[in-house]
Amino acid sequence: MPISVTMPRLSDTMEAGTIVRWNVKEGDEVTSGQVVADIETDKATMEMPVFDDGRIAKLLVPAGQSVKVGTQIAVIAEEGEDLSVAASGGGVAAPKAVPAAKPAPAPVPVASAPAAKSADEDETVTVGGQRIRVSPVARRMAEEAGIPLSSLKGSGPGGRIIKRDVQTAMENASARPAVPFAQVAAPAAQALAVPVAPATTRVSGGLVMAGLESERVAVSGMRQTIARRLVESKTTIPHYQVSMRFELDRLMAMREQLNTELAETGIKLSVNDFIVRGCALAMARHPYVNASWAGDAIAVHKQVNVGVAVALDESKGGGLVVAVIRDADRKSLRTISSEAKTLGEKARTRGLSAEDMADSTFTVSNLGMFGVEHFTAIINPPNSAILACGAALKQPVVRNDELTIGFEMTATLSSDHRVIDGAMAARWLKELKGLLENPATLLV
């Protein structure tokens, strides 16, 4: 009997997947556990194994096509089964391609309308706490024209916003006379030239310069997810930043000594390994930094799982993934270093699994290897904080009231003010400073 292979759900938020590459062709033998395709999800590119033995009877979805989770993408013939029979007799139907993702809210069921209404079914969106009924065509037109739905009055059945309402608003906007600059500028600035905005063309989700020659590059599903999550994070989480400078003379000396002693084992500790270990211990001592905002409560997590941001090569679509080191407060530097290297390599080559990226309670983002001295990072929901680490720079410093040469690093903690107030962030950074400046405490 033919075996159906469907698009798997490889992450908790995955709704569709793109087949980046098939690693088999029709007629090939496969065994349980064999990786047959690379799938791009909303988070990363991951390997897809099969769970049955047999031969590939038919590949239903070509490489490069996106289909919804659960869609049949291949057929496997069991041992002794005729390939052509399996390919044609397995209830195979050609899958429908998933259209390009739009930043629009998911349709919400609404009350049934008269049978004579158009094919455009109502959508209900929430703007500023107000539920607004709008047709998909009207919503797209409003987005492209930059017209807030909350500013429109619907003339359709039940106050529904329809295409005509958006067109009227666009005509009114174009017909409205421009306000003379002299009426709105301060008298002292009347003699100044008014800057002329460059001509732009509105496209879905943004603007482009009309006079520039540009190349449109398709956005991967992962990049779309990154964009959506970062905008959501920055607009819904009240960020604030606190920075502190760390003296790393002892840490750098200890790292050099440990790496010399561990050279034969192939282990090489990085500065980031010490930072991850220090963050984990500091979080265990300050539980609210290891917490999430839960609306009417604060969820203080029992596990300390530190996420490490990993940048992907542009040849693989770029982007950023977060590999998670679980129970980091209970692991040695050697274990943290080994896991971080394994996960980093896996992220850049085969892709991380959903489990590799799940359940982080805090994130470390380090650009020090690029020579960056200071930056701020955006919180990775549902975390309440992220630490942005700059380079450990050898420079002139003051030690014991004397000018000398030493290592210093600046780190900036971005926090969710709903969970972590300023004093709490400062105490946590002070705890981390004590751990990193006395690195022997990280070994026990």
Given pLDDT bands bounded at 50, 70 and 90, which one contains residue 116?
very low
Output the DSSP codes for 151-219. G----SGGG-B-HHHHHHHHHHHHHSPPPPHHHHS-GGGTTSPPPPPPPEEEETTEEEETTS-----PP
Region 394-398: what's the mean pLDDT? 93
Q: How far apart are CA 252 and CA 365, in angstroms?
A: 19
Domain boundary among 177, 206, 235: 206
Q: Are residues 146 and 269 in the same domain?
A: no
pLDDT at 183 over 80: no
Residue predicted with more confidence, 312 or 379: 379
Q: Are residues 85 and 127 in the same domain?
A: no
29, part of any domain: yes
Q: What is the pLDDT of residues 398-426, one digit of tens each?
A: 998 999 999 999 999 999 999 999 999 99
> What's the pLDDT at 392?
95
395, part of any domain: yes
> What's the pLDDT at 51?
85
Given pLDDT bands bounded at 50, 70 and 90, which one contains residue 133?
confident
Helix locations, 237-309, DSSP H: 249-261, 271-285
Q: Do the beta carbons of residue 311 and residue 425 sit within 8 Å?
A: no
Domain count, the chain: 3
20, part of any domain: yes
Q: Which of 286, 301, 374, 417 is catalytic?
A: 417
Q: Which residue spans within 255-392 are E strands per DSSP?
A: 291-293, 298-300, 306-311, 320-325, 362-366, 385-389
Question: 362 - beta bridge partners?
Answer: 306
Region 91-100: what's the mean pLDDT? 48
Residues near 321 by Cβ (< 8 Å), separated by ≥ 6?
43, 44, 222, 309, 310, 312, 347, 352, 357
Tokens 């001295």 -> residue: 373
Q: Do the beta carbons of residue 136 and residue 123 sit within 8 Å?
A: yes
Q: What is the pLDDT of residues 261-270, one digit of tens each?
A: 999 998 999 9
Output the DSSP codes for 34-78. -EEEEEE-SS-EEEEE--S-EEEEEE-S-TT-EEETT-EEEEEEP
Radius of gyration of the chain (CA): 28
Residue predicted with more confidence, 9 or 284: 284
Q: Are residues 13 and 137 in the same domain?
A: no
Q: Are residues 143 and 234 in the same domain?
A: no
108, part of any domain: no
Give the up-direction half-sphere exposure of residue 310: CA atoms within 13 A in the CB hemisphere. Answer: 27
pLDDT at 182 over 60: no
Closest CA to 289 of 97, 114, 421, 393: 421
Given pLDDT bands bounded at 50, 70 and 90, which one contains residue 187?
very low
Across all residues in the chain, what is the average pLDDT?
82
Given pLDDT bands bounded at 50, 70 and 90, which one contains residue 313?
confident
> What's the pLDDT at 157?
66
Q: Are residues 150 and 233 in the same domain?
A: no
Q: Are residues 31 and 146 in the same domain?
A: no
Dihedral angle sign, alpha carbons of residues 157, 161, 166, 169: positive
25, part of any domain: yes
Phi, psi of 434 (to 5 degrees): -65, -35
Could you tell me the pTM of the whole model?
Answer: 0.61
Q: Do the beta carbons of residue 323 and residue 357 sit within 8 Å?
A: yes
Given pLDDT bands bounded at 50, 70 and 90, which one contains residue 110?
very low
Q: Are residues 383 and 303 in the same domain?
A: yes
Exposure class string for 267-296: b at 16+ Cβ within 10 A, else e? bebbbbbbbbbbbbbbbeebebbbbbbeee
> What's the pLDDT at 147?
83
- To the query of whether residue 417 is one of the catalytic residues in this protein, the response is yes
pLDDT at 380 over 90: yes
Share of the chain above pLDDT 70, in %: 80
pLDDT at 251 over 80: yes
Share of the chain above pLDDT 90, in %: 44
Range of lowest pLDDT (37-46, 123-132, 396-405): 123-132
Phi, psi of 443 (to 5 degrees): -90, -10
Q: How far apart are CA 104 and CA 132, in angstroms?
A: 14
Residue predicted with more confidence, 54 or 84: 54
pLDDT at 168 over 70: yes
182, part of any domain: no
CA 323 to chain centre: 12
Range of lowest pLDDT (115-119, 236-240, 280-284): 115-119
Region 163-179: what's the mean pLDDT? 70
The CATH number that applies at residue 299 is 3.30.559.10
192, part of any domain: no
Q: Are residues 303 and 229 in the same domain?
A: yes
The packing angle between helices 422-437 and 271-285, to 10°, is: 130
Output the DSSP codes for 72-119. EEEEEEPTT--HHHHHHHS---PPPPPPPP-SPPPP---PPPPTTS-S
pLDDT at 128 over 90: no
Domain boundary among 89, 109, 136: 89
Tokens 């080559």 -> residue: 349
Domain boundary among 67, 89, 111: 89
pLDDT at 45 over 90: no
Region 361-378: what's the mean pLDDT? 95
Neighbour count for residue 248 (Cβ, 10 Å): 23
Tokens 């690693």 -> residue: 23
Q: Are residues 377 and 293 in the same domain?
A: yes
Q: Are residues 289 and 410 in the same domain?
A: yes
Which of 76-80, 166-170, 203-207, 384-388 tops mean pLDDT? Answer: 384-388
Cα dist from 72 to 68, 76, 96, 225, 242, whole Å: 9, 11, 10, 24, 50
The CATH number that applies at residue 71 is 2.40.50.100
- For residue 196, give both structure tokens: 């002329």
Residues near 419 by Cβ (< 8 Å), separated by ≥ 6?
288, 291, 292, 293, 298, 384
Q: Are residues 132 and 240 in the same domain?
A: no
Helix (H) or strand (E) holding 403: strand 402-416
> What's the pLDDT at 283?
96
435, part of any domain: yes
Closest CA to 242 of 365, 420, 419: 420
pLDDT at 121 over 60: no
Q: Are residues 291 and 406 in the same domain?
A: yes
Region 297-317: what's the mean pLDDT? 88
What domain range is 71 assigned to?
3-89
Tell the burial category of 424 from Cβ atoms under 10 Å away from its Cβ (0-12, 13-18, 19+). middle
Region 350-356: what's the mean pLDDT? 83
